[in-house]
């Protein structure tokens, strides 16, 4: 091999090596794009709800109400018969089977929906009104184009007769898409078309607030102690080893801690944001302490010495000068730690937050779910509608995380002093 060939070979190797690096980075970025794309394309449709316009006659006699019924009276009234009658007028049916199929086009709670409509629009009593009623999940998915209607009938959940009705209704312009407010206000449900993340939003909110209240002061105090006051001795070393190890302990182990100690020994209420918050704050604590200490360390010693020189005590120099200067870094570290806690699932599953909870929690000691747990719960469901609901929940969760991370980055870039 002569000199030129060798040189060529070496340059070739150089190019290839650089190429590998470029490919790796591109692959990693492509993964991000692909993942986000899958979630968004699947979840986008969940923000819309399919409704069918139905004519309802709110006849007070038929409902056994007085002619100017109060809200309480309407609340207690039975709307089931009225609802069935109005729905059956939509399309001519023969026999009980076809009737049942027609009714199954709608979400099972259609009578309650009609009742709620009347309560909101009390002046519609004794009138013929068009009400938009939520369709069942299958029709919802069909209308959004997610349902394979070309399959043979026996492999579909929608019968030919239902398809016939659906096509007729579409022709009559009675099938509409509206913004899905249910998704944000409702609690969990077995029926995907009315299932919402209202409950888990509140659950996550309470959990994060408790995590913040518990972990933020303790983390700041601990990092001030370790960075400014701790003497160099065995106890300090031991604390530092503990913090570094805890930051890397798998989250599921904290779930076992919550289950064994908080639920087992201290007998706190299961499935509640209270226990979840305590568990997550124990988990987040070391992850907040580490960036807090870094930002305290970044304050130059001249600040401390200046304060001491004009007669401040050690505590005064730290609390009046060092800590205020480190606040941007501390806050952004805390927010990032909380963002991690918000997305954490495994420990919450172990402390029983996987229970099926319909009600929206009013206090931190009510049983509830949280956003990531809701993702897990819905991903286990077989219904088609839950796939888009799961993806949409992920979109909501990710947007919270993005906002939190942006705030953290903004705080750091805008307010953190650069010491040179």
Partner 1 sequence: MNLAIIVLIVLFSVSSFFFARTKVKKIAISNQTKLNALPDYYGYYLSLWCALPALLILVVWTIFEPSIIKAFIFQGISGENAQTYNNSELNLIYQQIKSFHFGYFTGTITEEIIRGAESYKSFLSIAQGSKVVLLATIIIFTTLYALKKILNNNKAREDVEKIFKGLLFLCSLVAILTTIGIIFALLFESIKFFSVINVFDFLFGTSWSPQRAFVRDASTITAEEYADLKNAFGSVPLFAGTAFIALIAMIVAVPIGLFSGIYMAEYANTKVRKYSKPIIEILAGIPTVVYGFFAALTVGPFFREIGEKFGLEVSSESALAAGLVMGVMIIPYISSLSDDVINAVPQSLRDGSYAIGATKSETIKRVVFPAALPGIVGSVLLAVSRAIGETMIVVMAAGLAANLTLNPLESTTTITTQIVMILVGDQEFDSPKTQSAFALGLTLFFATLVLNYIALRVVKKYREKYE
**Contacts with partner 1 in 389-418 (CB under 8 A)?**
390-391, 394, 397-398, 401, 405
Minimum Å gap between C-beta 342 and partner 1 is: 8
Q: Does 359 bind partner 1 (CB under 8 A)?
A: no
The sign of the torsion formed by the CA atoms of 141, 144, 149, 151 equals negative
Torsion angle defined by CA atoms of residues 144, 147, 152 and 156, in that order, rounded to the nearest 10 degrees:
-110
Q: Which stretch binds partner 1 (CB under 8 A): 92-100, 242-250, 298-306, 320-328?
A: 242-250
Q: Does 362 bind partner 1 (CB under 8 A)?
A: no
Q: How many CB atoms lie within 10 A of CB 267?
A: 8
Q: Does 244 bind partner 1 (CB under 8 A)?
A: yes
By the 8 A CB rule, do 326 and 298 touch?
Answer: yes
- The C-alpha angle 334, 339, 344, rounded to 5 degrees, equals 125
Q: Does 302 bind partner 1 (CB under 8 A)?
A: no
- The C-alpha angle 161, 167, 169, rounded to 5 degrees, equals 105
Cβ neighbours for 171, distance < 8 A, ≥ 6 positions apart: none
Q: Which stretch binds partner 1 (CB under 8 A): 118-126, 160-168, 189-197, 343-351?
A: 343-351
Minimum Å gap between C-beta 419 and partner 1 is: 19
> Per DSSP, what are the bridge partners of residue 367?
none
Q: Does 245 bind partner 1 (CB under 8 A)?
A: yes
Q: Does 218 bind partner 1 (CB under 8 A)?
A: yes
Of 1 and 28, the one with the shorter C-beta distance to partner 1 is 28
Minimum Å gap between C-beta 338 and partner 1 is: 12
Minimum Å gap between C-beta 280 and partner 1 is: 12
Q: Which helix (H) or strand (E) holds 348?
A: helix 346-350
Helices (H), 134-197: 137-143, 160-171, 182-185
Q: Does 419 bind partner 1 (CB under 8 A)?
A: no
**Contacts with partner 1 in 20-79 (CB under 8 A)?**
20-25, 27-29, 31-32, 35, 38-39, 42
**Contacts with partner 1 in 137-196 (CB under 8 A)?**
none
């Amino acid at each position: 091999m002569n000199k030129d060939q060798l040189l060529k070979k070496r340059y070739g190797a150089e190019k290839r090596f650089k190429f590998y690096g470029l490919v790796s980075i591109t692959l990693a970025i492509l993964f991000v794009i692909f993942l986000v794309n899958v979630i968004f394309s699947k979840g986008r449709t969940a923000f819309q709800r399919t409704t069918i316009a139905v004519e309802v006659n709110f006849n007070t006699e038929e409902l056994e109400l007085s002619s100017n019924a109060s809200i309480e009276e309407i609340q207690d009234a039975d709307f089931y018969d009225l609802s069935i009658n109005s729905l059956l007028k939509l399309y001519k049916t023969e026999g009980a089977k076809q009737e049942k199929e027609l009714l199954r086009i709608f979400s099972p709670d259609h009578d309650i929906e009609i009742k709620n409509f009347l309560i909101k629009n009390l002046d519609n009593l004794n009138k013929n009104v068009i009400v938009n009623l939520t369709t069942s999940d299958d029709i919802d998915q069909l209308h959004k184009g997610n349902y394979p209607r070309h399959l043979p009938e026996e492999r579909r959940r929608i019968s030919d007769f239902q398809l016939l009705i659906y096509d007729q209704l579409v022709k009559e312009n009675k099938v509409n898409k509206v913004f899905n407010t249910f998704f944000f206000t409702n609690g969990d449900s077995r029926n995907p078309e009315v299932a919402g993340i209202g409950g888990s939003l509140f659950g996550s909110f309470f959990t994060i607030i408790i995590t913040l209240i518990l972990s933020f002061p303790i983390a700041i105090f601990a990092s001030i102690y370790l960075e400014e006051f701790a003497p160099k001795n065995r106890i300090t070393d031991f604390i530092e080893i503990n913090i570094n190890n805890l930051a890397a302990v798998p989250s599921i182990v904290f779930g076992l801690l919550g289950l064994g100690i908080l639920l087992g020994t201290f007998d706190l209420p299961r499935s509640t944001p209270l226990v979840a918050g305590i568990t997550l704050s124990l988990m987040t604590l070391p992850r907040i302490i580490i960036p807090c200490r870094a930002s305290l360390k970044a304050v130059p010693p001249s600040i401390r010495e200046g304060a001491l020189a004009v007669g401040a005590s050690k505590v005064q120099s730290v609390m009046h000068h060092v800590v205020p200067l480190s606040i941007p870094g501390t806050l952004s570290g805390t927010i990032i730690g909380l963002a991690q806690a918000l997305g954490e699932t495994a420990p919450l599953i172990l402390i029983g937050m996987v229970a099926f909870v319909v009600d929206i929690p009013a206090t931190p000691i009510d049983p509830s779910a949280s956003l990531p747990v809701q993702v897990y719960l819905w991903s286990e469901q077989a219904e088609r509608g839950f796939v888009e609901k799961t993806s949409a929940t992920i979109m909501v969760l990710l947007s919270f995380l993005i906002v939190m991370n942006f705030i953290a980055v903004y705080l750091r870039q805008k307010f953190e002093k650069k010491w040179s």
